[in-house]
Amino acid sequence: MRHIIAAVATLLAAWAIIYMVNLDKEVNKLDNVAKLIQSTAMEDSKIKVQTHTGATTTTPIQTDTTSEPPKKDEVEEKLKALKEKAGNIAAFETSALYKKNCASCHGNIGEGIIGTKLIGRDKAYILKALHDFKSGKRKNYVMYGLLGNLDEDQLEQLAEEISTFKEKLEKANSTN
Q: Where are the domains of the chain?
A: 2-59, 96-175
Find all residues with CB under 8 Å of 162, minimum gap 6, and list them.
Answer: 98, 102, 110, 118, 119, 121, 123, 126
Q: Is the pLDDT of residue 43 over 50?
A: no
Rounded Cα–Cα distance for residues 75 and 78 (Å): 5
pLDDT digits (tens, 9 = 90+) for 62-96: 545 555 666 667 777 766 665 554 555 566 788 89
Tallying the residues shown for the chain, one arrives at 176
Q: What is the mean pLDDT of residues 33-42?
A: 65
Rounded Cα–Cα distance for residues 72 and 19 (Å): 57
The answer to whether residues 83 and 176 touch, using CB atoms and an 8 Å cutoff, is yes
| Fold of the domain built from segment(s) 96-175 | Cytochrome Bc1 Complex; Chain D, domain 2 (1.10.760)
pLDDT digits (tens, 9 = 90+) for 102-133: 988 888 888 888 888 998 999 999 999 999 99
